[in-house]
Amino acid sequence: MYRKIIVAIAFGGIEKGEKILRKAASLLDDGGEIVALNVIEDVPTYVAIELPANMVEDAMQDSRDKLKALLTETGIAATVEIRNGPPAKAIISTAESYGADLIIVASHVPDFSNYFIGATADRVVRHAKCSVLVDRQKV
């Protein structure tokens, strides 16, 4: 069905990441590629001053290690990609740079706060140039 799938995984819900990785594997064409993506959000400058200089690099390495462990656990072959910045923007940028034809992202059932600030999944759906599969999760 799909040749290149971006699977956005947040470590706050690693079980969701495993579920959507398996979904991606089931939708992948023979010879296709899955890109397992985790985004490290930028730390505001006023906060970063108080933090160790290598905090972002350490967080990126930790994310890389966790994604590799998840892939080993599931037995799913995927390229690991770690980006930093606003999550929705990083997900869309990754999809464009890889020429993805599908993004899979987990999302909880929206609550009242999503109507004011918007969820990452909402932004990805609105702005992605490829298909987006939102895996709904119960809160």
Domains of the chain, CATH where assigned: 2-130 (3.40.50.620)
Residue 117 pLDDT grade (very low, low, confident, very high; cuts 50, 70, 90): very low
| Mean pLDDT calculated for residue range 53-66 | 88
Average pLDDT over the chain, rounded to an integer: 87
Q: What pLDDT score was predicted for residue 109?
A: 62
Sheet holding 102-108, edge to edge: 79-84, 28-40, 2-8, 102-108, 131-137
* Residue 28 burial (C-beta neighbours within 10 Å; 0-12, 13-18, 19+): buried
Residue range 121-134, pLDDT digits in tens: 889 999 999 999 99
Residue range 4-42, pLDDT digits in tens: 999 999 887 677 889 999 999 999 999 999 999 999 987
The one-letter amino acid code at 17 reads: G
pLDDT for 94 beyond 90: yes
Q: How far apart are CA 79 and CA 65, in angstroms?
A: 13
Q: What pLDDT score was predicted for residue 36?
A: 97
Q: How far apart are CA 93 and CA 54, in angstroms?
A: 24
Q: What pLDDT score was predicted for residue 57?
A: 85
Q: How far apart are CA 107 and CA 110, in angstroms?
A: 8
